[in-house]
Every structure is written in structure tokens, then in C-alpha cells.
Structure 1
Amino acid sequence: MTAIQMAEVTKRYGGEPAVVDLDLTVDDGIVYGFLGPNGAGKSTTIDMLMNYTRPSTGSITVLGLDAQEDASRIHARTGILPDRFGVYRTLTGREHVKYVLDANDAIGDPEAVLDRVGLGDAIDQRAGGYSKGMEQRLGLAMAIAGEPELLVLDEPFSGLDPYGVRLVREVVEEERDRGATVFFSSHVLDQVERVCDQVGLLADGHLIAEGTPTELRDIAGVQTRLRIETTDHDPAVDGIRDLDGVTDVTYQGGELVVTCPRTAGNEILRQLEDAGVGIQSFDIDHGTTEDAFVELADARAD
């Protein structure tokens, strides 16, 4: 089943487009990362999915239901962590989660849910005393309460320390393994590729590329850098320079750096060994989704 389907969706505010001709398909049971800088149109897209705002043109279905006509049924099957999430200061963490369970007529254990996000010790503390990071974790707990079919997370890494960021990634993976579809937006591109099955890159309201993180790097022409520490003071590199796709070879301070296609690493190491070059260690930098986004966005601007 398709969890999310958007066809030729455009949203304008006062005549200015925030999202333009967006065609988007998110398959059931995957983690889809919707990535782009602040102001790209990510939150507007999520608002349209949840019927907080309506598209100027185009159609949207969520979980096989019309996003406008069946909004209440979609909400009952969806957990959402909105951007700029705010707590009810007088309610405890337990009461926040219980409220979501009751509102969706769902079964769940608030203690177990809050334990998953690291708030077990603060379950009966009033949320007005939570830190920003604790508030974000509470929002995540409310989103996953009741085991929804779809999770929609808008900037879920906001306000979190490194431990909290890792915890979000772990929860997202667990929810996917449970069978849920996870759709989340972020501008923290280096974190997203660690957990996403599919990625869509959004710039100025336009979907400029879509695919797996590896596919996006290939589409953008992001090259691999192979860093090799050698025992030689002057390693033989002429044969390496002649290999298909190798664009640069430098040697400085005992480190040989080869810029090459992602699949060329084994051949480069083999040639060095055949040439008698002593290899102490090597590291492969395949580039990031952020590198791909920059390349694709720059190409579009040109």
C-alpha cells in the first residue's frame, strides 16, 4: 500500500508559492526523509498532509484516504510530532501520553512509552519543568503512543543533544521494524541518511531529487575520497591517475588521497599493492547527502 500520495500539489500564500507542483509517493513501511533547508516548504507539506492547511491545487491521499475529506480518520491512525511542539505546562508526562491514547481510543502503557524516549524518571513531573530536550522527547512519546500506522515527524532532532539525536534514530528504526511508515522532515542532513530508506530533497518548494542516499550521491556526482596512509615517501601513483573516473591524486605527509568513483576503491588498493606500496591503513569517505543536496541545488540555480 502507498502511505502517502501527493499529485501536482501547489500551495500559495498571498500569491507566493511555498510548494510547487509536488509529486510525492511514500511506500508503506519505509522511513522517508524529506530534506531541505529552513524555508524550503517542508512544514507546509506536512501541514497539507494533516489538513492543517489545504493545497491551492493538487490532490493528497494519506493511508489511502483523502487528506481533506477523511482528516479525522487519518489523524486517528497517525502519530505526529509538529515543529515548534509545545507542552501543557500543568500536565505531567504521563498525562500527556494518556491524553493522546484517550483521544485516539488507543491502547498503550504511558510508562513504557516514556521509558522508550528516556523520560521514565520524569513521568510524573509537570512538563512546565522540562528542559527543551525533554519537551522534544515528550512530543516523540506522544507521537508513538498507541502504535500508529504512520509517523509524521517535523524536525524531530530540534533541541536535542547527541544522545537525544541517537535516541530519535533508534525509535524511528524500531517503529519501521514494527511495520509503521515514518515520514519526517529535517534540515540536519547528516543525521537523516543514517536511518532513511528513501530521501526527497526539497529546495524553494520544488522536489529536486529523490532516491536512496547512495542514489542521490550518484545522481549529484558526489565522489569518494580514499585516504591511504603509506610507508613510502614517494608512492607510485601514475597507474592510479590513469584509472577510469579518478579525478585527483595528492600525496602529503604520508597520506595518499584519491578522488574517485564510489566503486573504484578495491581496484586502487590492488594497484598500489601490485606496485609494492606499503599500506598502513585506509579510510573511505563516500560523501554525504548534504554534499549531494548542495551539488543538486547549485545545479538547479545555474
Structure 2
Amino acid sequence: MPAIETTALTKRYGDVRAVKGLDLAVDSGEVFGFLGPNGAGKSTTIDLLLGFRRPTEGSATVLGHDATAEARAVRARTGLLPEGCEFYENLTARDHVRSAVEATGADDDPDAVLDRVGLDPGAARRPVGGYSTGMTQRLALGVALVGEPDLLVLDEPSSGLDPSGIRLLREIVREEAARGATVFFSSHILGQVEQVCDRVGIMAGGELVAVDAIDDLRAELGANEVLDVTVAEPPEPSALAGIDGVADVTVDGDTVRAECSRPEAKAAVVARLTERTRVRDFGVEDVSLESVFDEYTSGTGSTRRAAGDTGGAESAAEGNDGSGRSIPLLGGG
């Protein structure tokens, strides 16, 4: 059974559809990246999955429960890190985590939770009103992790984190997936998504325009890998003519650059160059996730964005209803 499954899930605000007929399945234990530009429908989709909003049409099943009719059961098994969450300023981080432990009936050690997310004992015992954005984000992640939830929903989890915090976040995501949790990871920082996600879904204008493993999305677009070979005496580009799968060749100084549409073409290029000169070094550059994202959200990918109404309505009715697994501990957001 998928951890998340939606069928024709739709949310309208007046004449505008923030989410349009979403069909999505996320496997149990999967780290799924949920991508899209601002206003694409990501936050509205998360609200629908957790029962904070009711769909206009369609349905969503999360962890075997109807996301609307059984929202409490869904949230009882979900750890949520919402975007832009706020905490009670006069309480310490330890107070917040201890409250989360009590609310969920878990037996976590608050100090161990806070240590895991990189908050030292001194910071953990200070009121959170003086916290930096990054410290607040670490606390929010700690609250989401309480009770070993079956599903982690992380909405822009790296916001405000420094490089060490981002590395720690990636480690925690991998650890949670290794123990069997499903991670639904919404972000606009594509390089971070690429490092931890098994698959990604790309939203644009309220629609899911692509969903697959990142390498498969590259292949679907016909995106070529670029092979850079440093040689002692560069040949003319024509020296690589006739190699199947080589789309283009350029020579810049002592570097031969070949665009390859097939994996075996890279080995053939290196072999051909070795016959003619001494190969000093070589490396392969994948087409970035950013490029793939741009292709799909601009409507030039193989799954095209539908014309018509846009997804800007999701910002028109933001904010949760104050219920949920970690929401009672938040001052807003």
C-alpha cells in the first residue's frame, strides 16, 4: 500500500484551482521530493494530505486513512515541519519537545532529540524568543521527529539553516528512510533535493507536470551528459566523428568537450582520444536538476503544463487550523 495516494485531488478558491486533478502515489519508505515554483500548489497539497483543508473534488489516502474523514489518525502518525513555523517565545526548546513527547505519548528523551538536530544543551534551555532562524528550524525538525512517525512531511526544511545544518538535515532524512519512514520533502532548493530523494514530483500551475527518478526525467527530456577530457595534444573535433551517441564536440585549449546521449558513448570518446593523444584526466557533468525543473515548469518538457487558470490561489488562504501532530506546539504558521 502506498504511503500517500491521491486521485483527481482538486482544491478551488472561487474560480481558481490551486490544485488540479492531482494523481500521485508515494511508496512507503520513499524519500519523495515535491518541487515547484511559488504558487504552484505545493502547500495547498500538503494541507489537503494532512486534512487541514477539505478537497473540492477527488480524494487522498495517507498511511491507509482517508485524509479528510480520518485526518486525526493521519496526523497521529505524521511528523510535520511546516514552512515558517513559530513557537511560544517564553518557552525553551526543551519545553517544546517535552510537550510534543507528552502530546504524542512517546518516550523520547528531549535532550537526545535536541542533540540530534544540533541544538546544544545551553541553547536548548534558553527561551526560543531569542533564537536565530536556523535554530528555530532545528527545533521544528526536532519536534517533527518525536515519536518516530511513519510519515515525515518537511516543507522547506532547510530554510535558514547554515551549511552544517543542511548536511545534518540530509543525514537525518537518510536515517529516517533507513528505519522505514516515508519522507515527503517539499523544497525549492533543488540541489538539496537531488542529494536525498528517490523520486521527485514537479508541480506547476496546480498540476503535477512530471514525476519520476531524477535520472529518468533527464533521459525523458533527452538531456545529454557532458564529458570533459583533458589531453596532451587536442585533436580536431572531427577526430570524434562517427561515434554513435555523440551529439556535439568542442575543443577549448587542452580540453575536449563531448555531449553524449548514450552511456557507452563516453567510453568510446575516451578510447578514440587515447588512440590519438595522451589522456590526462576526464570527468562527466550531468544535466542539473535545475535545468530539468526549468524545462518542465516552463512547459517545454514532455509532460506539458496545461493552459488556463494558474495556481496562485494557494497563497490566498494560507494557515493551518491549529490541529495536528506538532501544530498544537506552534504559535502560528
Give the TM-score band, short-chain normalised: over 0.9
Q: Per-residue displacement from partner, 1:176-200 (whole Å, max 9, x unpaired)?
A: 0111010011111111011101111
CA distance in 2 between counterparts of 1:142 and 1:149 reads: 14
Task: Count how many residue pairs are aligned between Structure 1 and Structure 2.
Answer: 300
2:6 aligned partner: 6
Matches of 1:267 and 1:201, distance apart in 2: 34
SS at match of 1:247: strand
Give 1:240 shift. Answer: 2.2
Give runs of aligned pairs for residues 140-289 of structure 1, distance below 5 A. 140-232=141-233, 234-263=234-263, 264-273=265-274, 275-289=275-289
Instruction: Label 1:262 to 1:169 Cα distance change in 2 as closer, same or farther (>3 A).
Output: farther
The 8 Å contact of residues 22 and 207 in structure 1, kept in 2 or not, is answered as yes
1:102 corresponds to: 102
8 Å CA contact 2:128–2:136 kept in 1: the answer is yes
Contact kept? 2:236, 2:251, Cα under 8 Å: no
Contact 2:6 2:23 in 1 (8 A): yes
Percent of residue pairs bearing the same amino acid type: 49
Q: Could you tell me which runs of 5 or more consecutive residues in structure 2 were left unpaired when the two chains were aligned.
A: 308-333
The residue type paired with residue 265 of structure 1 is K
> Where does the alignment leave 5 or more consecutive residues of structure 1 unmatched?
none
Q: Distance in 2 between matches of 1:85 and 1:267?
A: 53
* Residue 49 (structure 1) shift: 0.7
Larger displacement relative to structure 2 (157-166 or 125-134): 157-166
Maintained 8 Å contact 2:36/2:297 = no
How big is the shift at 1:247?
2.0
For the residue of structure 2 that corresponds to 1:2, the secondary structure is coil
- Bigger RCO (CA 8 Å, 6+ sep): 2
Structure 1 distance, partners of 2:209, 2:244, is 29
Name the CA shift for 1:262/1:196 in 2 (closer, same or farther; >3 Å).
farther
Question: How far has the Cα of 1:11 moved from its partner?
Answer: 0.9
The TM-score normalised by the length of structure 2 is 0.87
Give, in whole Å, the separation in 2 of the partners of 1:89 and 1:113. 20
Partner in structure 2 of residue 138 of structure 1: 139
* Deviations 1:250-291 (CA, angstroms, capped at 9, x unpaired): 111211111112512222112211x22211111110112221
**Any idea what the Cα deviations from partners look like across 1:120-157, whole Å, max 9, x if unmatched?**
33111111111000101110111111111100011111
Distance 1:277 1:39 in 2: 53
Which residue of structure 2 lines up, in the alignment, with residue 26 of structure 1?
Answer: 26
Structure 1 residue identity aligned to 2:92: T
What letter is aligned with 1:289?
L
- Higher alpha-carbon deviation: 56-65 or 6-15: 6-15
Task: Find the aligned partners of 1:171 and 1:262 in 2 and give their Cα distance.
Answer: 35
TM norm structure 1: 0.95
Q: C-alpha separation between the residues in 1 aligned to 2:247 and 2:262?
A: 12
How far apart are residue 239 of structure 1 and its match?
4.4
Aligned partner of residue 196 in structure 2, secondary structure: coil
- The offset of 1:236, in angstroms, is 4.6
Query: For 2:68 and 2:253, how far apart are their aligned partners in 1?
Result: 62
For 1:42, the aligned partner's letter is K
Structure-2 separation of matches of 1:142 and 1:18: 29
